[in-house]
Amino acid sequence: MESRWNDVEAQKYTNDPVALRAYTSRLLGQEPALVQHGGGNTSVKTLHKNIFGEYEDILFVKGSGWDLATIQPQGFAPVRLNVLQRMAQLESLSDSDMVREQKAAMINPSAPTPSVEAILHAIIPYKFVEHTHSDAVVTMTNTPQGESNVREVFGPDVLILPYVMPGFVLARQVFERTRDVNWEQLKGIILLNHGIFTFHDEAKTSYENMIQLVTQAEVFLEKKGASTVRKSSTTTLPTPIELAGLRQKLSQALGKPMLMRLDRGEEAVGFSKWEKVSAVSAMGTVTPDHVIHIKPRPMIITKDPDADIAKYAADYHSYFEKHKMAHLKELDVCPRWAIWPHVGCLSIGTSSKALRIIDDITKHSRRCLQWAENLGGFRPVSQSDLFAVEYWELEQAKLKVIGGNTPPLQGRIAVVTGAASGIGRAIAMELKSQGACVAALDVHPEVGTLFKGEGQIGINCDVTDENAIAQSLHTVTQHFGGLDILVSNAGTFPISRYLEQMSDADWQKTIDVNLNSHWRVLKAAIPLLKLGFDPSIIMVGSKNVSAPGPGAAAYSAAKAGITQLARVAALELAAHGVRVNTIHPDAVFDTGLWNDEVLLNRAKHYGMSIEDYKRKNLLKTEITSKNVADLVCAMVGPAFSKTTGAQIPIDGGN
């Protein structure tokens, strides 16, 4: 591990300790092997002038919900240091009281909630404090020889502490164990099965102490021949129907839509082929904090998904019954990750953000489990310790923050064709903003750049090509798990030609893109939609269906054709719970079809100004692509849950 410290960059923050703290925190956050999700917090102690002109010692500690990789100064919670230090002297303190008192001691009530480790940061007598869940360090301690490994590697440079619950219990342990410690002899603290702290009065030294100690751990693993993982490839690829079917069963078990991502990378496949994978992965998580995201163990997939899910639920229920206390209510019994032997690994989550977190944690977990086994055997904390964290009131509060206010389409999976521009792009973006995961299909190559990031994927696809459609839907099921919403929007508006002027090629191209492609997409998507959660199809028609114009015969015939196609689909799919409806937009001018010159010519034709022409409808209102997108989102949601076979204009009254 190499130091990312840059003297020139650091110089920018020398007069602002909190900004400097944010800078070095980002350096830590850029190292995935240090801060896999939920695995780090940092702080700085500094003087702050209050409104009375008095200086107070303040601890600026990472706030809950902030990512070390991107944290800014406003991501730190400012807490009065003396209050935190006095709290450490209490014999006992409940978690809820600790959180309340920490918030009450903040000098800015609008700042984020202080880390649960704020008291521990406060009692370490140095200005800068770093805490990570380093892969290498945690691996060393998750073995039968964990403590002796640490002593061998670090000697007297670190204080070694056994695992206890995070929060006040941990702070109290450190307070008691460091009463007679000579802090000047220490570079860090190793918390067995948990993580590592480093500290110093200089920001650079505190940060580089972390880099140095973690590097020592990495070198130790290498010398022991432990830092290897299995890699393999596979020709075994689940079909889209298999993936969507498994996702449907998981969603039914939870009672709401789940997302599912298949990792078929070499490390994931190699891990899935490991002969010890079932036994070792069932022992627990790499660090207890991860249990709130991935539960105590993964599900192992066999040839009977129903039995796999039922077994996982039964095992989880037994785990709960064994460790529960009277006031606890059992959480859901659905797995959050799964191992598919010889195929790969699955992440399973209720939102795109949860899926990203699980992806991150499980990728690191797979490595750490193998490293620990190579080093002498993976031995995590006990199941009772895991349970205590999973059902810890403060960790449950974190989950509520991650979930937040649930968007209306969260967990649903949508495919939008013709999504690179115009109405299609607006629909895709609005579906995403309302919580859906979106696969944007378009023949234009830039679609991959336009839809890139969490909860979205852009796929270059020619919807007139049956094989391209099939491959695109396979990609969707591997990336998100299935399909719930299809918005069939792709189309083209040809040059206006009267019937006697139209060539066979012009006619055929228009019909192929504006009608046949919709049939091809429907045909390929229907088997997946039958396995979807509240599945819905929206066909994007046109006002030309009811009011065609001269010179648009092929376009009008195609749009009339997809309208009838949708009506027949509604008849055929109703028994499977799949709703099929059509929208008919008109005069949507903020798309690529309409430029200033075209608008001016059309307005002149009617003897109108451009603004009046845009509002040439009964309501005298302009229709935008966003208006169309809003309608689509409403129609795939609960408000239209009893509607199928409908045709709805969006034209301001025509």
* Closest alpha carbon to 629 in 500, 477, 446, 485: 485
Residues in contact with 104: Cβ distance below 8 Å, sequence separation at least 6, in sequence order: none
Q: 193: helix, coil or strand?
A: coil
Q: 393: helix, coil or strand?
A: helix
Phi-psi region of 364 (alpha: psi -120 to 50; beta: other; left: phi over 0): alpha
Give the distance from CA 83 to its chain's centroid.
Answer: 36
Mutual angle of helices 517-529 and 466-480, in 10-degree steps: 30
The strand order across the sheet containing 337-340 reads 259-263, 344-349, 337-340, 299-300
Contact assessment for residue 260 and residue 243, using Cβ atoms and an 8 Å cutoff: yes
Contact assessment for residue 229 and residue 267, using Cβ atoms and an 8 Å cutoff: yes
* Residue 170, token pair as written in the block: 């941990």
- Which of the following is catalytic: 126, 319, 555, 613? 555
Helix and strand numbers (H, E) in the chain are 26, 19
- Looking up tokens 């750490």, which residue turns up? 368
Tell me, what amino acid is at 124? I
- 86-89: list long-range contacts, CB under 8 Å, 24+ apart: 87/119, 87/168, 87/171, 88/119, 88/122, 88/123, 88/171, 88/172, 88/175, 89/175
Contact assessment for residue 298 and residue 337, using Cβ atoms and an 8 Å cutoff: yes
Rg from Cα positions in the chain: 29
Contact assessment for residue 209 and residue 3, using Cβ atoms and an 8 Å cutoff: no
Contact assessment for residue 403 and residue 349, using Cβ atoms and an 8 Å cutoff: no
Q: 488: helix, coil or strand?
A: strand
* Residue 543, token pair as written in the block: 């006002």
For β-strands 128-132 and 158-161, DSSP reports them as unpaired
**For residues 445 and 218, what is the distance between their CA atoms, to the nearest angstrom?**
42
Tell me, what amino acid is at 387? F
Helix (H) or strand (E) holding 4: none
Q: Where do the H-state alpha helices sit in 91-202?
A: 95-104, 118-123, 135-141, 146-154, 168-177
**For residues 458 and 129, what is the distance between their CA atoms, to the nearest angstrom?**
42
* Closest alpha carbon to 489 in 538, 440, 540: 540
Tell me, what amino acid is at 381? V
Active site includes 207?
A: no
Annotated catalytic residues are 555
